[in-house]
């Protein structure tokens, strides 16, 4: 999705100056940075509805910075849409064993039932990948009725990326506390 309205573009989140406490590696650029057991968090986001997905990603990274997260975060843009995310996420998790993952995508309802089938299938697949790999995966797939709802949820109004980051930190603290 390309956001054409300039007001809507202003409603989305931008990446703040990242003088952060954590190491951030864009795996699309730094493929040689992939090494087993290196990543605390891996964030996968789909190429489809990219502007929305990047807004969620930026909200996530901005919140990690604000909370002074210390660790390594890898980001990886996955080709395709939400449907492709679970399988490709599973392959990367198996190879690199992150402590936690966030999967980001956006499914906008159209005029057919495709939306319902896709939303249900992707949600179930993400849950299965989490169980099969024994890795917490936050489901960052927005399922919305229209573009404005996507902008509101991904953007400054609701900042779901920040919510996902807070949940990530809580899960990692829980896992560390109970050594699980």
Task: Pick one of 3.40.50.960, 3.20.20.70, 3.30.420.40, 2.60.40.180 as the CATH number of 21-177.
Answer: 3.40.50.960
Which tens digits make up the pLDDT trace of 95-150? 889 999 999 999 999 888 888 899 999 999 999 999 999 999 999 999 999 999 99
Q: What is the mean pLDDT of residues 13-21?
A: 80
Report pLDDT for 135. 97
Distance between CA 180 and CA 164 in Å, rounded? 20
Q: What is the pLDDT of residue 30?
A: 72
What average pLDDT does range 137-164 have in this prediction? 97
Q: Which of 54, 17, 20, 82 lies closest to 154 in space, CA to CA?
A: 54
What local confidence, expressed as pLDDT, does residue 29 receive?
81
At 33 the pLDDT is 60
Per-residue pLDDT at 11 = 92
Q: Is it the case that residue 35 has pLDDT exceeding 80?
A: no
Assess whether pLDDT exceeds 70 at residue 31.
Answer: no
Kindly name the residue from 68, 94, 95, 114 that is annotated as catalytic. Answer: 114
Would you state the pLDDT for residue 111? 82
- What secondary structure, in 3-state letters, does the chain show? CCCCCHHHHHHCCCCCCCCCCCEEEECCCCHHHCCCCCCCEEEEEECCCHHHHHHHHHHHHHHHHHCCCCCEEEEEEECCCHHHHHHHHHHHHHHHCCCEEEEEEEEECCCCCHHHHHHHHHHHHHHHHHHHHCCCEEEEEEEECCHHHHHHHHCCCCCHHHHHHHHHHHHHHHHHHCCC
Instruction: Count Cβ neighbours within 10 Å for each residue of 37-51 and write b for 16 or more, e otherwise.
Output: eebbbbbbbbebbbb
Q: Is 86 annotated in the active site?
A: no
What are the structural domain ranges in the chain?
A: 21-177
Q: How confident is the model at residue 32 (pLDDT cuts 50, 70, 90)?
A: low
pLDDT digits (tens, 9 = 90+) for 61-85: 999 999 999 999 999 999 999 999 9
């Amino acid at each position: 999705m390309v956001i054409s309205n300039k007001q809507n573009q202003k409603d989305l989140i931008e990446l703040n100056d990242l003088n952060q406490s954590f190491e951030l590696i864009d795996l699309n650029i730094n493929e040689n940075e992939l090494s087993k057991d290196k990543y605390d968090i891996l964030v996968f986001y789909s190429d489809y509805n990219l502007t929305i997905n990047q807004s969620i990603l930026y909200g996530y990274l901005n919140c990690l910075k604000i909370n002074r997260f210390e660790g390594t975060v890898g980001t990886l843009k996955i080709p395709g849409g939400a449907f492709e995310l679970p399988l490709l996420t599973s392959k990367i998790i198996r190879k690199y064993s992150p402590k936690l993952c966030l999967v980001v995508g956006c499914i906008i309802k159209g005029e057919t039932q495709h939306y319902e089938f896709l939303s249900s299938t992707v949600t179930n697949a993400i849950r299965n990948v989490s169980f099969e790999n024994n890795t917490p995966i936050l489901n960052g797939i927005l399922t919305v009725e229209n573009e404005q709802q996507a902008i509101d949820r991904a953007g400054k109004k609701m900042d779901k990326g920040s919510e996902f980051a807070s949940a990530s930190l809580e899960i990692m603290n829980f896992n560390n506390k109970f050594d699980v």
